[in-house]
Structure 1
Amino acid sequence: MIKLAALSLIVLIMPFSASAAVWVITYPDSVIKHDERYVYPLSLLHLALEKTGVRYDIRPSSSPMRQEKSLKRLEENLEINLVWSMTDTQRENQLLPIRIPIAKGLIGWRMFLVHKEDPFLDTPISTLDDLLKYKPVQGIAWPDTKILQANGFNVITARDYNEAKALVSGRVADFFPRSVIEISSELAADEFKTLVIKPKLAIEYPSAMYFFVNKRNKTLAKLIETGLNRAIEDGSFDELFYSHFQQLLEELNFEGITYFELSNPLLPMSAQTHKPALWYRPKK
């Protein structure tokens, strides 16, 4: 009887304990103060977790981390338990991706930061061959570097975002391709006011930015995936997406832009490119 009573007590307590548990999610803090690029991913993460009904606490790491370090720490299951990053085959081998492109593929739409006095700013670009004559800069560990190289670009590499921007400011590189969801806020944060956006020109390659967790953290991955799918189904995912990016895309005249389509040999076959609801395409 005592054992039966004790078992009954455990059964009663377990649901309460599970519902009372708090999911602590730690992401890598940015090396850039007040990084506007973090606003949307964190908002979407909050939305996904709200859709699951769990209690949670989202917090930054105790110190800033560059991307390469944060990916390594996540693989080692140290300090952080979630990152958001552009996917490639290597990252999906090392980490566990939640295969829903959180920015609907806009991470692969790239416009160009250039020095305001660089002749490239006013040079007409009619073909991809015209563009290949100029040198872009990208981070040495970024997937974008290999993608651009695979498409014939002579890429200058930098250790991180700040160095890449400095190489354009110093006119060592001709342009710095930045996602359309990043470029306006980054331009506004340019303290030296030497950079501008080359208008009406972009490149596009199929690419997805995912939430990633450690390979062993399948429960957290399933939790976030469930919340994201619920947000997609009830329309709140798109509502959040367009509330963040619709005005930005209009300001960039994105519907009337000239762009060159590039291949992405690093995009895993598992990317759900066959689901139009997960991807943004201009009306043009």
Structure 2
Amino acid sequence: MKWILGALFSVVLCQTAIAATWEITYPRPISEDDHRQDYPVKLLALALDQTGVKYKLQPASVVMLQDKALKQLAENRSVNVVWSMSDIDRESRLLPIRIPIYKGLIGWRVFLVRKDKLAKFRNINTLQSLLKFKPIQGYDWPDTKILQSNGFDVLTSKSYAGLFTMLASNQGDFVPRSLVEVWKEYDAQFMDESIVVEPTLGIKYPAAMYFFVNKSNRTLAKLLENGLEKAVANGQYDVLFEQEFRDIFERSNMDKRFFFQIDNPLNAPATPIDREELWY
């Protein structure tokens, strides 16, 4: 009798979850010209579609920088899902869904530089020679610590827009941006005309960007995990990824570009490195 009652209760819970509308609130883009959110939101929708639940995807009512969004998520306020590059600290404070949403390309970095400094980058042929140049990164980004741990003298900005303002005003030598971000940024109206994408070099390190939820929100985490796993298994994840990023490899001159491999000491032990289907 207890087993039957338990089974019936589980069915009721399942039916309730399917009938309810899941309200998924994510960080609002910084501006209308900020298209970095487009793909993660599409992937969220794809994952939720796989589960059959009713849902409503909506941006938060106010703009918040990454550090603020992660803090709000940890406090269970304003947002209930955030995508961010993983590190040991973030995985200790939040609940990650360990499927890299960019197939690890978040760790493949090419350089935004000033046009008048392009010639200096042509003479770089070792990591040691690259270390003489100063990168600019966000003050709270894991990338900053990764670069510092590999010997770079990193300058930091407290705002996203400040990265490009600092570069344009000759503070620092380059801004490393991932393959999946750099071209949308370069094409955006806010990008200063003095800035270009350096055509021959890059750095890469193992890195994953995940969807994160509040540690107490295991139901939502399981829902997103199930949806993403289904999309990976049935190939729809690959289809969306290809649609979004098929042009970046040609545009990035991958056959002529050399990437220096550096270490990422911030990778969490549970990073699914062995699942080849999740990585580029």
Letter in 2 for 1:81: N
The residue that corresponds to 2:5 in the other structure is none
Contact 1:121 1:198 in 2 (8 A): no
Contact 2:29 2:35 in 1 (8 A): no
Structure 1 unpaired stretches of 5+: 1-9
* Pair 1:120–1:172, CA change in 2 (3 A): farther
The residue that corresponds to 2:218 in the other structure is 218
Q: CA separation in 2, counterparts of 1:262 and 1:35?
A: 29
Letter in 2 for 1:134: F
1:154 aligns with 2:153: yes
TM-score, with structure 1 as normaliser: 0.91
More divergent stretch after superposition (204-213 vs 153-162) = 153-162
* Pair 1:130–1:57, CA change in 2 (3 A): same
Q: CA separation in 2, counterparts of 1:11 and 1:157?
A: 50
Q: CA separation in 2, counterparts of 1:145 and 1:247?
A: 28
The residue that corresponds to 1:59 in the other structure is 58
Letter in 2 for 1:53: G
Q: CA separation in 1, counterparts of 2:156 and 2:13?
A: 53
Q: CA separation in 2, counterparts of 1:209 and 1:15?
A: 30
1:72 aligns with 2:71: yes
* Pair 1:12–1:113, CA change in 2 (3 A): closer
Q: CA separation in 2, counterparts of 1:213 and 1:119?
A: 41
Q: CA separation in 2, counterparts of 1:129 and 1:15?
A: 57
Q: Please list the CA deviations of residues 218-277 of structure 1 after superposition, one character each: whole Å capped at 9, or x if unmatched.
A: 000000000000001001111111111111111112243201000000000100011111
Q: CA separation in 2, counterparts of 1:138 and 1:122?
A: 19
Q: Please list the CA deviations of residues 185-232 of structure 1 after superposition, one character each: whole Å capped at 9, or x if unmatched.
A: 101113431210010210000000000000000000000000000001
Q: CA separation in 2, counterparts of 1:219 and 1:11?
A: 14
Letter in 2 for 1:77: N
1:36 aligns with 2:35: yes
The residue that corresponds to 2:198 in the other structure is 198
Contact 2:164 2:191 in 1 (8 A): no
More divergent stretch after superposition (131-140 vs 30-39) = 30-39
The residue that corresponds to 1:208 in the other structure is 208
**SS where residue 250 of structure 1 aligns?**
helix
Q: CA separation in 2, counterparts of 1:155 and 1:29?
A: 28
Aligned positions of 1:51-200 closer than 5 A: 51-118=50-117, 122-189=121-188, 190-200=190-200
The residue that corresponds to 1:257 in the other structure is 257
The residue that corresponds to 2:6 in the other structure is none
Contact 2:97 2:211 in 1 (8 A): yes
**SS where residue 168 of structure 1 aligns?**
helix
Contact 1:74 1:80 in 2 (8 A): yes
Number of equivalences:
271
Letter in 1 for 2:54: R
Q: CA separation in 2, counterparts of 1:12 and 1:150?
A: 51
* Pair 1:229–1:12, CA change in 2 (3 A): closer
Displacement of 1:122 in angstroms is 4.7
* Pair 1:26–1:251, CA change in 2 (3 A): same
**SS where residue 113 of structure 2 aligns?**
strand
Q: CA separation in 2, counterparts of 1:20 and 1:223?
A: 14
Displacement of 1:34 in angstroms is 3.4
Q: CA separation in 1, counterparts of 2:151 and 2:11?
A: 63
Q: CA separation in 1, counterparts of 2:144 and 2:271?
A: 20
Contact 1:98 1:211 in 2 (8 A): yes
Displacement of 1:120 in angstroms is 5.4
* Pair 1:175–1:25, CA change in 2 (3 A): same
Q: CA separation in 2, counterparts of 1:186 and 1:47?
A: 24
Contact 1:28 1:83 in 2 (8 A): yes
Contact 2:25 2:58 in 1 (8 A): yes
**SS where residue 36 of structure 1 aligns?**
coil
Contact 1:114 1:121 in 2 (8 A): no
Q: Please list the CA deviations of residues 1-38 of structure 1 after superposition, one character each: whole Å capped at 9, or x if unmatched.
A: xxxxxxxxx99986654432000000011223232111
* Pair 1:121–1:31, CA change in 2 (3 A): farther
Aligned positions of 1:4-15 closer than 5 A: none
